[in-house]
């Protein structure tokens, strides 16, 4: 059914009669959502997030789209089939992965050019995030087609929000290189980034990576979020060196892992250093300006700088 036909049908309910006897999977579909009343998707590429563990972490809209698109491209069709079975979906499934990406891209572009809709899913979470799809998105845009995000789970955000570390600014750096020297080289420019850092990592490499992170980034507070949304979900919080020591001793943890690291440590500004700064600033201006300058340049809390500037002035 095309979009216009659907709109017509919805404006005239008598043309959309309920089936006499709904199939069991349709009853289930109605119970969990709104699939039957969703419009057929417009032509375009739908980037659909799927669960990262718990199968119920999928949106109603994602189910609508997967039920209605002309084709679903999946990183691994066997993994995708399990998800589809859980929700009684029977889409036309095709593979889109590293090894067939070029040919599959051509097929997808032809499908879109024919006015059809295509969904892209990965094995878990949000496609394109440390997963295939970026080149496809670029090609789809270049060919003048639309891309629709169908947002949902992603391990990076799930990990970040369980870490208890600052979330106002963060940098996602995906997987680090497996070899030590390349890993340290990749970490070096991240040391000065004023933000929390988020990485994906594997169990066997975790202890070594944490040790490199501690030595290149400094011994910052960090968290290891493991098996998120699954049975053995665990978040361990400590400094990087403590975490490195823990996993070196305990052995590689099983399952999937997100590493979250706090921003660079603020070096504590001593009272003497603050006084020296304020005395000089007070020769040029008033208490308020001196305190603002100290807060901005030394990174001390404005309240502390203001209180001390008042005392010095007095």
Residues engaged in binding ligand SAM (CB under 6 A): 52-53, 122, 124-126, 129-131, 154-156, 200-201, 225-230, 256-258
Q: Which is nearer to ligand SAM, 89 or 258 (CB)?
A: 258
| Burial tier of 106 (Cβ tally within 10 Å: 0-12, 13-18, 19+) | exposed
Min dist. Cβ of residue 230 to ligand SAM (A): 6
Whichever of 229 and 292 has its CB closer to ligand SAM, that residue is 229
Closest contact distance (angstroms) between CB of 300 and ligand SAM is 37
Contact 147, 140 (CB under 8 A): yes
Smallest distance from ligand SAM to CB 178, Å: 13
Question: Considering beta carbons, is residue 52 or 163 the nearer one to ligand SAM?
Answer: 52
Residue of minimal Cβ distance to ligand SAM: 125
Least gap, CB of 125 to ligand SAM (angstroms): 2
The least distance separating ligand SAM from the CB of residue 158, rounded to whole angstroms, comes to: 7
Report the nearest approach of ligand SAM to the CB of residue 299 (Å).
33
Cα torsion through 232, 233, 237, 241, rounded to 10 = 60
Q: Residue 132 in contact with residue 98, Cβ under 8 Å?
A: yes
- Distance CA(198)–CA(243), nearest Å, equals 15
- Residue 170 vs residues 140, 199, 213: alpha-carbon distances, Å: 29, 11, 16
CB closer to ligand SAM, 128 vs 282: 128
CA-CA distances (angstroms) from residue 159 to 118, 165, 198?
Answer: 29, 10, 8
Which DSSP letter does residue 21 get? S
Between 124 and 173, name the residue whose CB sits nearer to ligand SAM: 124
In the complex with ligand SAM, the residue whose CB is nearer, 128 or 310, is: 128
């Amino acid at each position: 059914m095309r979009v216009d036909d659907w709109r017509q049908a919805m404006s005239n309910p008598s043309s959309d009669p309920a089936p006499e006897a709904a199939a069991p999977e349709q009853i289930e579909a109605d119970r969990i959502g709104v699939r039957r009343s969703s419009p057929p998707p417009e032509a375009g590429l739908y980037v659909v997030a799927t669960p990262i563990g718990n199968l119920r972490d999928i949106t109603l809209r994602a189910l609508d789209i997967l039920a209605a698109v002309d084709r679903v491209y999946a990183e691994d069709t066997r993994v995708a089939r399990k998800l589809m079975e859980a929700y009684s979906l029977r889409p036309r499934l095709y593979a889109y992965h590293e090894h067939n990406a070029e040919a599959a891209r051509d097929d997808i572009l032809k499908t879109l050019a024919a006015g059809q809709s295509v969904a892209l899913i990965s094995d878990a979470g949000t496609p394109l995030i440390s997963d295939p799809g970026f080149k496809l998105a670029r090609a789809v845009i270049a060919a003048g087609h639309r891309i629709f995000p169908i947002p949902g789970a992603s391990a990076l955000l799930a990990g970040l929000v369980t870490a208890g570390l600052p979330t106002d600014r963060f940098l996602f750096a995906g997987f680090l290189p497996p070899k030590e020297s390349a890993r340290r080289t990749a970490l070096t420019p991240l040391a000065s980034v004023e933000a929390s850092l988020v990485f994906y990592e594997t169990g066997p490499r975790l202890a070594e990576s944490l040790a490199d992170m501690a030595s290149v980034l400094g011994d910052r507070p960090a968290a290891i979020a493991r098996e998120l949304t699954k049975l053995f979900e665990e978040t361990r919080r400590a400094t990087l060196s403590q975490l490195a020591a823990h996993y070196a001793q305990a052995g590689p943890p099983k399952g999937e892992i997100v590493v979250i690291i706090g921003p660079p440590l603020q070096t504590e500004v001593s009272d003497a250093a603050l006084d020296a700064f304020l005395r000089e600033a007070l020769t040029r201006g008033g208490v308020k300006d001196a305190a603002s300058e100290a807060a901005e340049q030394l990174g001390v809390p404005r309240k502390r700088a203001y209180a001390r500037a008042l005392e010095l002035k007095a």
